[in-house]
Amino acid sequence: MNKTHKDRAKELIMDRHNSARKAFMGWLGRSVLLCITAVPTLAIVFILFFILKESMPFFDNLGYVKEFFTSTNWAPSKEAPHFGALSIFYGTAMVTIGSCAIAVPLGITVAVCLSEIVSPRIAQTFKPIIELLAAIPSVAYGFFALVVFAPILQNHGGALISSVIIVAGIPLAALASMPASEIAIGRLFKGAKQTPKTILRWGFAIAFAAIPLWAGFSVFSIEINSGTNALNASIILAIMAIPTIVSISQDALSAVGRDMREGSLALGSTRFETIVKVMLPCAKSGIAVAVILGFMRVIGETMVVWMASGNSLKIPEPFYNFFEPVRTLTATIAGEMGEADQSTGSARYHVLFAMSFCLLMTGMLMNAASQWIGSKKSGK
């Protein structure tokens, strides 16, 4: 009997021992998992640390810093170097704004079309096409911009742009004239008869349509000196940003409840009114996130701007001239790091890190903004 007691006690102890071991192993496994999960966090910390460390020697020198943000004199390889990066910042801003101006309206329209207008089956077939656009490597876009698109833009740029303006602009302007004329009639000629109203409507339509016509013809004879310019980069970047904008806004639009849509339709509004007045306002935070992410994709893009923007160190004249070559931060980093002495740590090496620090900060701020907007939405 004693023996068995002893054995049972032993078993119990072993059991406890085992469970302690098990618990320890579980804890260990969980910590290992946690450590591995922390790799992205570590990577962020290290990236911040190293980019900051390498750009510190540049930011320490205050004379350079003022020049960096205010001057356009960029001559990093000279005996007495100058690091005025204003034109580079300007080029980045220009290309980013240009591409967003194309990508945002187009992307949102496509998203609306996919989620609200076409049948789900067609939307399903379109999804891979949009994904295909997103999957194509940036260097392929850059190649297209440089080898295929730039010569076309240089030789037939004026005709191309003016035909786009006329073809796309006149219907849009005619459309826009309708609500405008309605509003004008409603405000000014409330009691007028039918005939003057009709005349007024046609007048509005013609006046509105004249704008793109005039713009198209004035652009027609324009001479483009270089096919690699801000416009080329903007268009190609817009194509790259559209998939991001489309897929995220589409998700946001489909997340809006059916009750909203059906309620609006039941109250007698057309589909257009439902979309503009109900769906888009409801999905606005999701669409804002989409725009921000598209913006981030554009601003961090290297190969397309390096190959398509022309890499000129001048601020275009006049400042909105998209036919001039420009240069962006990413292209400068990619182009000059090869020449900068990578190991000795020259001023040129550090200034490029300072640029990437600016890029990194912009990216992180944008990201924080998008996450903040996203969390606000989910909190609501």
Partner 1 sequence: MKTSTRKVLDKSFTLTSYASLALMCLVIVLFLAPIIVNGIGAVVFRATVEHDKFLYETLGRESSGYREELEKSNAARKPLYEMMAHFEKSDNYGHLVEKINAARAQCLSKLESEADIIFAALDIEDSRERLEKVRAIADAAWSPYINEISALADDSLHNGGTLSAAEILKKQSNSLPGAAKLALNSLYEKKKLSFQQKSMLRRNFTSFPMSALAQNLEKLEQANAAYNSFKKGVAELLGPSTAAEKEKLNLLRQKYGQPRENLARDVFEQSVLHISVAEKDAEGRDVVRKVESAEYFKGTPVEEMISYMQKNMPQMMQYHWTVYLGFFFDNPYDSNIFGGIWPMILGTFYLTVGAMLIAAPLGVIAAIYFSEYAKPGRLVSLLRMCVGTLAGVPSIVFGLFGLSFLINTLRVSESKSVLAGAITLALLILPTIIKASEEALKSVPNSFREAALGLGAGKWKSIYSVILPSALPGMLTGIIISMGRAAGETAPIIFTAATSTGAALAVWEVFTQATPALPWNIYNMCSEHEMADKVQHVQYGMVLTLIAIVLTLNMVAILIRAKIQKKLKN
Q: How many residues bind partner 1 (CB under 8 A)?
A: 88
Measured CA distances, 147 to 151, 153, 227, 330 (Å): 7, 11, 10, 20
Report the alpha-carbon distance of residue 157 to residue 358 in Å, rounded: 34
Which member of 73, 203, 215, 273 binds partner 1 (CB under 8 A)? Answer: 273
Q: Which is nearer to partner 1, 257 or 268 (CB)?
A: 268
Positions in 184-243 near partner 1 (CB under 8 A)? 239, 242
Positions in 336-355 near partner 1 (CB under 8 A)? 337-338, 342-343, 352-353
29 binding partner 1? (CB under 8 A): yes
* CB contact at 8 A, 85 and 74: yes
Q: Which stretch binds partner 1 (CB under 8 A): 59-67, 204-212, 282-290, 329-337?
A: 329-337
Q: 179: cis peptide before it, omega within 30°?
A: no
The strand pairing partners of 139, in sequence order, are none
Q: Which is nearer to partner 1, 94 or 242 (CB)?
A: 242
Please provide residue 74's backbone torsions phi and psi, each rounded to the nearest 5 degrees. Answer: -110, 105
Q: Which is nearer to partner 1, 142 or 216 (CB)?
A: 142
Nearest-approach distance from CB 6 to partner 1, in angstroms: 29
Report the alpha-carbon distance of residue 40 to residue 366 in Å, rounded: 18
Letters for 290-309 (x = contact with partner 1 by CB under 8 A, - = none) are: ---x--x--xxxxx--xx--
Tokens standing for residue 31 = 């910590």
Which member of 20, 23, 148, 206 binds partner 1 (CB under 8 A)? Answer: 148
Nearest-approach distance from CB 205 to partner 1, in angstroms: 11
Q: Which is nearer to partner 1, 39 or 188 (CB)?
A: 39
Tokens standing for residue 106 = 């187009």
CB-based burial label for 314 (10 Å; 0-12, 13-18, 19+): middle
249 binding partner 1? (CB under 8 A): no
Q: Which is nearer to partner 1, 9 or 192 (CB)?
A: 192
Q: Which is nearer to partner 1, 3 or 187 (CB)?
A: 187
Report the alpha-carbon distance of residue 179 to residue 174 in Å, rounded: 10
Q: Which stretch binds partner 1 (CB under 8 A): 13-21, 173-181, 210-218, 315-323?
A: 173-181
Phi-psi region of 268 (alpha: psi -120 to 50; beta: other; left: phi over 0): left
- Sort strands 74-75 and 82-83 into parallel, antiparallel or unpaired: antiparallel
Report the alpha-carbon distance of residue 51 to residue 359 in Å, rounded: 11
Report the alpha-carbon distance of residue 246 to residue 124 in Å, rounded: 13
279 binding partner 1? (CB under 8 A): no
Q: Which stretch binds partner 1 (CB under 8 A): 27-35, 60-68, 282-290, 314-322?
A: 27-35
Letters for 30-69 (x = contact with partner 1 by CB under 8 A, - = none) are: x--xx-xxxxxx-xx-xx--xx-xx---------------
Nearest-approach distance from CB 318 to partner 1, in angstroms: 29
CB-based burial label for 337 (10 Å; 0-12, 13-18, 19+): middle
334 binding partner 1? (CB under 8 A): yes
Q: Which is nearer to partner 1, 24 or 320 (CB)?
A: 24
How does 220-256 read in b/e, with b if 16+ C-beta sit within 10 Å? eeeebeebbbbbbbbbbbbbbbbbbbbbbbbebbbeb
Positions in 95-114 near partner 1 (CB under 8 A)? 106, 109-110, 112-114
Q: Which residues contact 59 (CB under 8 A, 6 or more apart)?
A: 65, 354
Q: Which is nearer to partner 1, 13 or 32 (CB)?
A: 32
Q: Which stretch binds partner 1 (CB under 8 A): 76-84, 204-212, 248-256, 362-370?
A: 362-370
15 binding partner 1? (CB under 8 A): no
Nearest-approach distance from CB 126 to partner 1, in angstroms: 7
Positions in 126-145 near partner 1 (CB under 8 A)? 126, 128-133, 135-144
